[in-house]
Amino acid sequence: MLRALAAAHGPLMFHQSGGCCDGSAPMCYPAGEFRTGGSDILLASLAVAGVAEPVPFWMSTSQYELWRHTRLIVDVVEGRGSGFSLEAPEGVRFLIRSRLV
């Protein structure tokens, strides 16, 4: 999915705010479309085979405090989320799976 989105939209980024409803799901945007600030943490830059640039994954500090003791896995599943995430029109949605470390 990230390869298809990068081909269609160019460099990508993720942000997870921890808000209610779909705000707790990772949202994928064209890089720079979502403005991060002092209350966001860059967790990682995801290396994706076939995608030229790493995909930065940002999370709000408040969400990070809840999940900092887990390993986070970005997954994609069938179904529609809401919001402005790029995958929404494709009939899939991103979600986070977590494991305690």
Give pLDDT tens digits for 33-91.
999 999 999 999 999 999 999 999 999 999 899 889 999 999 999 998 767 899 999 99
pLDDT of residue 24: 72
Torsion (CA) 57, 83, 86, 97 in degrees, nearest 10: 50
pLDDT of residue 27: 93
**56: closest CA among 30, 87, 93, 92?**
30
